[in-house]
Amino acid sequence: QVQLVESGGGLVQAGGSLRLSCAASGHGLSTYAFGWFRQAPGKEREFVAGINWSGSSTYYTDSVKGRFTISRDNAKNTIYLRIDSLKAEDTAVYYCAAESFGTGDRDSNYNYWGQGTQVTVSS
């Protein structure tokens, strides 16, 4: 029902910034919660940020608080992840995910996933 396409990844220097985008298509997207996840080589996928259906509530894992900002533009059906003060440990494939009527927190049962976009941070 929902397709997600991430973009905005690339190679950046430590301390720099990136803005990742997730273009969503489907029906009733305004009722969906969205999240960003990442997976580094040899590690399990982890939740990094989420946002509820209205955009009024956001959630972040402790390691990214103060550096990552999730937002959504319902008019454009796009979800963003702003990453500031990039660190080498932020290197990973970043995935966008969605859940109808979800909360956007790490415990949401996200059931739609994008293909991912690679973020590589050089130190």
Q: Are strands 117-122 and 92-100 parallel, antiparallel or unpaired?
A: antiparallel
- What is 36-69 written as a DSSP string? EEEE-TTS--EEEEEE-TTSS-EEE-GGGTTTEE
Identity of the amino acid at 34: F
DSSP-based three-state secondary structure for 15: coil
pLDDT score of 92 = 98
Residue whose pair of structure tokens reads 């900002």 in the numeric block:
69
42-101 pLDDT, tens per residue?
999 999 999 998 889 999 999 999 999 999 998 999 999 999 999 999 999 999 999 998
